[in-house]
Amino acid sequence: MKLWMFNCKEVTRMLSDSMDRELSFHQRVGLGMHLLMCKFCSRYQKQLLFLRETIHLHAARGEDIEPFTTLPPEARERIKRYIHNVLDKSE
């Protein structure tokens, strides 16, 4: 049974991957089973879909996506340091 069950870390990675490529049958079944049981991963999936749709709508209007153009340099550096710290801890 473990073959079809994925943990939350695997599921979040697969959800992200599914935005760029089609998952295998095994992955889709396991993902679906997990999402039926896990409200946190289901919420994460909804958030990913919302973000994807928002970005597509924003891009469709022809607006530039430059989030850092209005931020002060100090804020940009704080954000960069925070992201690097989070990524370092996840590895």
**Which residues in the chain show pLDDT less than 70?**
1-4, 62-69, 90-91
Name residues whose C-beta falls within 8 Å of residue 35's C-beta, 6 or more positions apart in sequence: 11, 41, 42, 45
> What is the predicted pLDDT for the residue at 62?
66
pLDDT for the residue 2: 56
The encoded tokens of residue 88 equal 């370092």
Tell me what pLDDT residue 36 has: 95
The answer to whether 40 and 7 are in contact (CB under 8 A) is no
